[in-house]
């Protein structure tokens, strides 16, 4: 099995050819203003886009943003991303106000050699994420019509069996972009025989996505530290009340089983910062993890937990971290993420941070990016890669 690369495509010559690029431009946005709060994922795809522009391709970029429900939803428009991408490329990006409709067709047709277009959010179309093969195929046919070749540079989405990731490669000559190649190369170091102790830190809010991964990772890791929105389903499984914290009730049983099987590898918070609302100025206190008041919700791990997690990280030789330890976007709830991130940088381990928000947290908290071994653009994708799963977006590129 081989995967052709962007260099292979460039060697064939792309001048004047339409090249469809799947990027992961799912950037965090400010909830009030809609402004992009971290452009790391846009920067990450620049090497691929720059190379195609230099080679004179007509570059058609597509991406998802957030989780709209298969219909246009203005809060998830990629328009601001087109603006930022244009600034970073140093040339305007032509924005199509739909994904495969009239605007997309005329925008793509009008492209001159070396110009870039961005289509509106793929997930404004039901076919993108549909579990029905025929529905996905119909959307993929429309999208594929915009390219003569396809480049997958959306590492953060390679674990999704979605039309733009999984079905397009069957329709167009396809290659992996620079970002996908680099991510796979670095993560390969962790997927093989990681140096021990191997410590994985998990947090964030995509609870059900990641619970499935924990089971697969448990035999491989020496310690698994769980904070962020992830921890409350586990605390509940231990018999504690979690107030109005993020909770996946239907996963409590799974967590109970995981804890039983974990042979003491799983470490949970012993204290949390509990607030009376999900708001930056909410009243809050540090409470024991087994004493979260009924009307409060945990928005960060507490200082005792940070100290415990730091101790569990101290002698690590390999660390993988995905998911903020709290709602770091609000300064009152950023201390857990900062503390754990700092503890990770103090180890002499090979350290990998994965995930759009985790990478954004590293930058937002002013931590030195170079003190991590690798900052991956994909959280779920890197976790599933480490799990050894066949990732739909990677498998589809193989010939």
Ligand X SMILES: Nc1ncnc2c1ncn2[C@@H]1O[C@H](COP(=O)(O)OP(=O)(O)O)[C@@H](O)[C@H]1O
Ligand Y SMILES: O=C(OP(=O)(O)O)[C@H](O)COP(=O)(O)O
Q: Which residues are annotated as part of the binding site for substrate?
A: 24-26, 41, 64-67, 123, 160
Q: How far is the CB of 73 from ligand Y (least distance, A)?
A: 14
Comparing C-alpha atoms, which of 255, 242, 332 is closest to residue 287? 242
Span interacting with ligand Y, options 190-198, 213-221, 361-369, 376-384, rule CB under 6 A: 376-384
Q: How far is the CB of 340 from ligand Y (least distance, A)?
A: 17
Residue 228 interacts, among ligand Y, ligand X, none and using kind-specific CB cut-offs from 5 to 8 Å, with ligand X
- Tokens representing residue 324 in the block: 């903020």
Q: Which of 243/298 has CB closer to ligand X?
A: 298
Q: Which of 69/196 has CB closer to ligand Y?
A: 69
Yes or no: say if 381 and 155 are a contact pair by the CB < 8 Å rule.
Answer: yes
Query: Is 31 a known active-site residue?
Result: no
Catalytic position from the list 18, 41, 136, 236? 41
Q: How far is the CB of 329 from ligand X (least distance, A)?
A: 5
Q: Which residues bind ligand X (CB under 6 A)?
A: 203-206, 228-229, 246, 298-299, 322-324, 326-327, 329, 355-358, 379
Residue 194 interacts, among ligand Y, ligand X, none and using kind-specific CB cut-offs from 5 to 8 Å, with none
Write the CA distances from 73 to 122, 143, 164, 190, 299, integer angstroms.
11, 20, 19, 38, 28
Q: What is the rounded CA–CA span in Å between residue 154 and residue 377?
A: 9
Q: Which of 48/233 has CB closer to ligand X?
A: 233
**Can you tell me which of 3, 24, 55, 265 binds ligand Y, judged by CB under 6 A?**
24
Question: Half-sphere exposure of residue 157, counting CA atoms within 13 Å on the CB side?
Answer: 28
Known binding positions: 24-26, 41, 64-67, 123, 160, 210, 298, 329, 355-358
3-state secondary structure of 220: coil
Query: Is 34 a known active-site residue?
Result: no
Catalytic position from the list 18, 136, 206, 338? 206
Q: Which of 105/363 has CB closer to ligand Y?
A: 363
Residue 246 interacts, among ligand X, ligand Y, none and using kind-specific CB cut-offs from 5 to 8 Å, with ligand X
Handedness of CA 148, 94, 8, 129 (dihedral sign): negative
Query: Is 192 a known active-site residue?
Result: no
List strands edge to edge, sheet with 297-301. Answer: 284-288, 271-275, 297-301
Q: How far is the CB of 298 from ligand X (least distance, A)?
A: 5
**Interaction between residue 378 and ligand Y (CB under 6 A):** yes
Known binding positions for (2R)-3-phosphoglycerate: 41, 123, 160
**Interaction between residue 346 and ligand Y (CB under 6 A):** no
**DSSP label at residue 98:** S
- Tokens representing residue 14 in the block: 């792309």
Q: What is the 3-state secondary structure (H, E, C) of 267-323?
A: ECCCEEEEECCCCCCCCEEEEECCCCCCCCEEEEECHHHHHHHHHHHCCCCEEEEEC
Question: Which 146-175 positions form the footprint of ligand Y (CB under 6 A)?
Answer: 156-157, 160
Query: Is 356 a known active-site residue?
Result: yes
Q: What is the rounded CA–CA span in Å between residue 338 and residue 305?
A: 13
Q: Across the chain, how many H-helices and E-strands are there?
A: 16, 15
Positions in the binding site for ligand Y (CB under 6 A) = 24, 26, 67, 156-157, 160, 206, 355-356, 378-380
Known catalytic residues are 41, 206, 356, 380
């Amino acid at each position: 099995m081989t995967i052709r690369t962007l260099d292979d495509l460039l060697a064939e010559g792309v001048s004047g050819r339409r090249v469809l690029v799947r990027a992961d431009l799912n950037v965090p946005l400010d909830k009030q203003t809609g402004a992009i709060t971290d452009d790391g994922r846009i920067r990450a795809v620049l090497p691929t886009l720059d190379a195609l522009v230099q080679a004179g391709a007509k570059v058609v970029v597509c991406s998802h943003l957030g989780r709209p429900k298969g219909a246009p939803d203005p809060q998830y428009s990629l328009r601001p991303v087109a603006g930022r991408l244009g600034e970073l490329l140093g040339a305007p990006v032509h924005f199509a106000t739909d994904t495969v409709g009239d605007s997309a067709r005329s925008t793509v047709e009008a492209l001159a050699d070396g110009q870039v277009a961005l289509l509106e959010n793929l997930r404004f179309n039901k076919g993108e994420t549909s579990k029905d093969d025929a529905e996905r195929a119909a959307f993929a046919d429309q999208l594929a019509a915009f390219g003569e070749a396809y480049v997958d540079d959306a590492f953060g989405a390679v674990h999704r069996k979605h039309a733009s990731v999984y079905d397009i490669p069957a329709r167009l000559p396809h290659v992996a972009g620079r970002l996908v190649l680099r991510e796979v190369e670095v993560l390969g170091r962790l997927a093989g025989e990681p140096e021990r102790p191997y410590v994985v830190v998990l947090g964030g809010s995509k609870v059900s996505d990641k619970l499935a991964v924990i089971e697969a990772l448990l035999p491989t890791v020496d310690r698994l530290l769980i904070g962020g929105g992830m921890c409350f389903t586990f605390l509940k499984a231990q018999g504690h009340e979690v107030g109005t914290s993020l909770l996946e009730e239907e996963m409590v049983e799974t967590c109970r089983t995981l804890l039983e099987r974990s042979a003491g590898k799983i470490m949970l918070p012993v204290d949390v910062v509990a607030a009376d609302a999900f708001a930056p100025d909410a009243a809050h206190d540090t409470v024991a993890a087994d004493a979260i008041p009924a009307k409060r919700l945990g928005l960060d791990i507490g200082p005792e937990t940070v100290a415990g997690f730091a101790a569990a990280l101290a002698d690590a030789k390999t660390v993988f971290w995905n998911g903020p330890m709290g709602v770091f976007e609000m300064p009152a709830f950023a201390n857990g993420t900062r503390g754990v991130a700092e503890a990770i940088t103090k180890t002499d381990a090979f350290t990998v941070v994965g995930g759009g928000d985790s990478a954004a947290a590293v930058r937002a908290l002013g931590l030195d990016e170079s003190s991590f071994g690798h900052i991956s653009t994909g959280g779920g994708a890197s976790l599933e890669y480490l799990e050894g799963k066949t990732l739909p977006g990677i498998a589809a590129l193989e010939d």
